Structure 1
Amino acid sequence: MTILTPARLQTLSTSFPLLSTNWYYLAAATFSICNVPEEVPVIFEYMLQKVDTDKEKFEMVQRIREAILKSSALGGLPKAINSLMQLKTATPEPLRETRLQRTPAHQQGLEDRGATFFDQVYGKINKRVMSQMSTAYPDLGYYALNHVYAPLLSYTGILGPKETSLVVIASLIPQDVNPQLKGHLKGALNNGATKEEVMQVRELAMLIAKWSGVNWKSEVAKL
């Protein structure tokens, strides 16, 4: 039985006015993290009825794909694979992605791009965050910077810095990882989101997580 009834889809699409243009891909990323990939096509099919031109439809599903891919850095590649496979099955051939987005041209200056994005997210505490990761395990900081931020999170060809930060928040909320969530709530502000937008993402992701059966050990962090 699907979680996303028509009434719940209506709730997601109308209850968060500051997210009117991006609720759908934030919801898809959240469901993926919650390990309910079968809800992703439901969101996609709902959105197909809301956009008119083929270009708009392609851009819509492209944003869903990119949000789920970026969520893999926060919640694991297997969940993203399952969600993207479900989405592909539901996607008509003309709306499927056939081109590599992160082409060799995008690899130039990759480490600098990742470092810039990391510094932008963490602002004044960027060096402290990197030091904490690197002292926990020297390879952790290197991996996060050069294999997560550089090639994945800092790529802004489909979702910009603010949108990426909102995806990160939506992906962290179901996972009971308040230390990381606190940093990225503030990071979204650093990337141009308003406090009100951030709090609406928190509410949306918490609602979806509750529908998906998530329970938290402590109160979910907020701004």
Structure 2
Amino acid sequence: MSDSSLFAAANSLIGTWRDALSLTPVELRPILIACTLTSANYPKLLVPLVQQVLAEIEAGTFSVPTVPSTSPNAAASTSITPNNSNQVLDSQVRFIRRLRESIYKGSVLCGGPYGINALGAVNFALDPALSEAVNGYGPVRGPNSTLPADEYQKRGRDLFQTIYQHHTDPILTKIGNSSQDLVQSILSDTYGKVLADTALTTIAETELCLVATLVPLNVPPQLKSHVYGSRNVGVPMEQVQQLVTVAGTITSWVHGQVKSSI
């Protein structure tokens, strides 16, 4: 399929995937699709995905949840339905910040280059004013949020324990037998600094983003771990299984596009 044909069919295709995630909160569906497209290395489809959601926010048909940064594990239960231009911009900014954060978190699994390409596609979809408004917030993990190294280690260990529960020590021991440096990096950096931050996405949302990211990577042990990890942080198993199925459908579609272009 040529790019022109692809973009002509994009809204319908994306809409089908969003509808298929019927057990997932509506606002989170495009974010999970974006995580899968990032990991499948098909960032070009992020442009119509983002533009579709921004148009829905402007039309007042898409509500953006608020996750107070002062409440580390707050559920995304309240939402903003914009009814004036300021609220439209605020809602669009919040959606893009949450989308960026989710892709960034997923990139610790699928790799920096994939994350760079995806985040570049997201930014390409924004008009200059919206891009400026989003970037005006600066980094989520700014200099004022820096913790001592041992605090990151503890925070990472606590999150790892929450996700893997009684499997925590066996998993860390197995990884440590291969590389002690990897264990330290996983706990301090991946979990402590990146995944444990809940300013924009809750732990449950983060776990779903990781599941969506892992499906295209074809790594069954890690996918299985985070499927059960999602359940351990309160996501119904039916919702997680549906996500795996839809992410698999997206991945198969991407493979078909890549194969047909060779």
**What are the superposed Cα offsets for residues 29-88 of structure 1, whole Å, 9 maximum, x if unpaired?**
111111111111111001012113222111111121111111111110001001111211
User: Which residue matches 1:218?
Assistant: none
1:104-160 CA deviation, whole Å, 9 max, x = no partner?
332223222111111111111111111111011121111111121111111111111
* Cα distance in 2, alignment partners of residues 120 and 175 from structure 1: 24
CA distance in 2, matches of 1:14, 1:179: 28
Structure 1 stretches of 4+ with a deviation exceeding 6 A read: none
Which residue, out of 183, 205, 221, partners 1:179?
221
Give how far 1:166 is off.
0.3
Partner residue of 2:67? none
Partner of 1:115: 157
Q: Does 1:148 align with 2:195?
A: no
What percent of counterpart residues are identical? Answer: 26
Q: What CA RMSD, in Å, does the superposition of the two structures yield over aligned residues? A: 1.5
1:94 aligns with 2:129: yes
1:199-218 to 2 correspondence within 5 Å?
199-213=241-255
Alignment gaps of 5+ in structure 2: 59-87, 257-262
TM-score, length-scaled by structure 2: 0.78
Question: Aligned AA for 1:13?
Answer: R
d(CA) in 2 for partners of 1:60, 1:203: 25
Counterparts of 2:111 and 2:154, CA distance in 1: 25
Deviation of residue 13 (structure 1)? 2.1
SS in 1 for 2:164: helix
Out of 162, 168, 171, the position equivalent to 2:204 is 162
Using structure 1 for the length normalisation, give the TM-score: 0.91
In structure 2, give the amino acid aligned to 1:85. G
Alignment of 1:56-135 (within 5 A): 56-96=91-131, 97-98=134-135, 99-108=138-147, 109-135=151-177
Task: Output the amino acid matched with 2:143.
Answer: P
Which structure has the larger Rg? 2
